[in-house]
Amino acid sequence: MATLKYSRQRESIKEFLTGRTDHPTADFVYENMKQIYPNISLGTVYRNLSLLADLGEIQKLSSFGGADRFDARTVPHCHFMCTRCGRVMDVFSEHIDKSLESIAADFKDGQISDYKARFFGICKECLKEESH
């Protein structure tokens, strides 16, 4: 097994993600990291995002079409994507969490190790605009 070594870049990337509630793409992370490390490369960002996801410190979301998104919130939770503006938001609901837990438990032999759910629709901001 590879022994992990400290890297400023990796630390900054994780810190950056932790400070946000949206779900940035790798390229967006890259653009922001450039302000701290002008020479950082996109490859480094991808490598660290992958590594952090493997360690379970962040979550990779491959669910929305286009580039993958990354989320520092690692507890199982759902996402809502607005089909009009493309924004991806976390969904908070005990009802939802309980339902998904019971869904996972519904599988035979405890096969489920993880699950993700996402919902599509039009967000309130877009609905507001629509009524103008």
Give the 3-state secondary structure of 76-87: CCEEEEECCCCC
The reply to whether 7 sits near DNA by the rule CB under 7 A is yes
CB of 92: closest distance to DNA in angstroms? 26
Q: Is 9 in the site for DNA (CB under 7 A)?
A: yes
Q: Which of 55, 118, 125, 129 binds a copy of itself (CB under 8 A)?
A: 118
Size (the chain), residues: 132
Among 5, 95, 108, 132, contact with DNA (rule: CB under 7 A): 5
Residue 128 binds a copy of itself (CB under 8 A): no
Task: Look at residues 58, 56, 55, 79 and name the one whose alpha carbon lies nearest to residue 16.
Answer: 58
| Interaction between residue 114 and a copy of itself (CB under 8 A) | yes
Q: Identify what 50 binds: a copy of itself, DNA, none; CB under 5 to 8 Å per kind.
A: DNA
Write the CA distances from 81 to 20, 48, 59, 119, 122, integer angstroms. Answer: 17, 26, 17, 6, 8
130 binds a copy of itself, rule: CB under 8 A: no
Backbone region of residue 56 per phi and psi (left: phi > 0; alpha: psi in -120 to 50; beta: other values)? left
Tokens 């901001």, residue located = 125
Residues that bind a copy of itself (CB under 8 A): 60, 62-65, 68, 78, 80, 83, 93, 95-96, 99-100, 102-104, 106-107, 109, 111-124, 127
